[in-house]
């Protein structure tokens, strides 16, 4: 894992946006794996700004989101389809027909999960997958105990996740307890993975992901198996790491190596 420790959330968003910018400049028809939640919002704002400035082009890109609440259709303000339209897709030059979010209103959700996997495969696989991390170590809605080779499927949300996400729902609004989520195996199949985490409340989850054992008890620890996983955190989210200074040293050396390679 490449562990990048930055000062604050704004720097994390910019670093993440740089990775997506480079990806789209190298391959305009990239398949982007996207995420919802509070963390990616600043990154999406940065991408919108760069798109409006003509620095990045989404017209040939396609996207696959990690997850969706089961029981909400895309017009529901708490659905992840609605979130993605509002936070990103409505503001960039992407063809909406090429944006994919698991269908929360599918009549047969089991078949819908298989179809989602088939669509990702037909698109050539995800080039770069954006992730956040839950306080319990989840990625997507792969809660603790999720199989480390799991595929897109229906998952039950933990009480901790339901409580964490209750802030987005009004008191009288139905909050789903089930989701459709890409599996951990689906996520590990992405060619590159970028996980963003900011704030003190993520520090223990980040530590378990980076320094803990590979275990279904912390689904994000599966990223230890990925050959190109970049973990981008601010100082608060990094604050529980034992070897923080070592990671900063590696990253400084890595930057020197990249500068040398670029000079060849
Ligand atoms: P958050 O969610 O960005 O809202 O903290 C992250 C996640 O649950 O994956």
pLDDT 10s digits, 176-192: 999 999 999 999 999 99
d(CA 257, CA 157): 42
Structure tokens, 93: 């030059």
- Kindly state whether residue 181 falls inside one of the protein's structural domains: yes
3 state SS of 3: strand
Distance of CA 104 to CAs 78, 114, 132, 215, 227, Å? 11, 14, 20, 28, 31
135 CA: nearest ligand 1 atom: 8
Give the active site residue among 51, 138, 164, 236. Answer: 138
CA-based R_g, the chain, Å? 18
Give the pLDDT of residue 171.
87
Cα separation, 67 vs 102, whole angstroms: 6
Let me know if 45 is exposed, middle or buried by CB neighbors in 10 A (0-12, 13-18, 19+): middle
Domain count, the chain: 1
Given 46, 65, 67, 226, which residue is catalytic?
67
Does residue 256 lie within any of the structural domains?
A: no
- CA 110, 116, 117, 122 dihedral sign is positive
Paired strand residues for 181: 67, 153
Q: What is the CATH number of the domain that holds 96?
A: 3.40.50.1360
Catalytic residue among 51, 65, 136, 142: 136
Q: Which of 109, 43, 41 is nearest to 70 (CA)?
A: 109
Ligand 1 pocket: which of 69, 78, 87, 133 to mutate (most atoms within 8 A of CB) = 133
Element (H, E) at 30: none
Instruction: Flag whether 240 is in a domain.
Output: no
Flag whether 144 is in a domain. no
User: Per-residue pLDDT tens for 59-108?
Assistant: 999 999 999 999 999 999 999 999 999 999 999 999 999 999 999 999 99
Provide the domain limits for residue 66: 7-133+149-201
pLDDT digits (tens, 9 = 90+) for 200-242: 999 999 999 999 999 999 999 999 999 999 999 999 999 999 9
| Domain membership flag for residue 171 | yes
Q: Say how far apart CA 185 and CA 169 lie, in whole Å.
A: 30
**Is residue 251 situated within a structural domain?**
no
**Ligand 1 pocket: which of 12, 33, 36, 187 to mutate (most atoms <8 Å of CB)?**
36
Is 212 among the domain residues? no
Band the pLDDT of 23: cuts 50, 70, 90: very high
- 186 within some domain: yes
Q: How close is the Cα of 252 to the center of ligand 1, in Å?
A: 28
- Cα separation, 157 vs 143, in Å, equals 7
């Amino acid at each position: 894992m490449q562990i990048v420790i930055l000062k604050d959330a704004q720097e994390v968003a910019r670093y993440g946006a740089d990775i997506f910018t480079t990806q789209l400049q190298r391959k305009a028809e990239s398949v982007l794996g996207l995420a919802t939640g509070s963390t990616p919002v600043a990154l999406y704002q940065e991408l919108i700004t760069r798109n409006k400035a003509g620095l990045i082009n989404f017209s040939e890109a396609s996207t696959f989101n990690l997850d969706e609440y089961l029981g909400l259709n895309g017009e529901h303000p708490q659905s992840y389809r609605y979130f993605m339209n509002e936070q990103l897709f409505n503001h960039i030059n992407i063809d909406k027909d090429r944006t994919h979010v698991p269908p929360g209103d599918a009549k047969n959700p089991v078949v819908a999960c298989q179809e989602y996997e088939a669509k990702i495969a037909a698109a050539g696989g995800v080039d770069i997958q954006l992730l956040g991390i839950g306080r319990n170590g989840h990625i997507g809605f792969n809660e603790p105990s999720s199989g480390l080779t799991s595929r897109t499927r229906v998952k039950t949300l933990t009480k901790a996740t339901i409580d964490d996400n209750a802030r987005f729902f009004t008191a009288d609004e139905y909050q789903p307890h089930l989701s459709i989520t890409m599996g951990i195996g689906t996520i590990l199949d992405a060619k590159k993975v970028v996980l963003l985490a900011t704030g003190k409340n993520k520090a223990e989850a980040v530590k378990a992901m980076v320094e803990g054992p590979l275990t279904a008890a912390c689904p994000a620890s599966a990223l230890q198996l990925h050959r190109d996983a970049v973990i981008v955190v601010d100082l608060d989210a990094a604050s529980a790491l034992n070897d923080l200074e070592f990671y900063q040293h590696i990253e400084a050396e890595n930057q020197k190596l990249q500068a040398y390679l670029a000079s060849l």
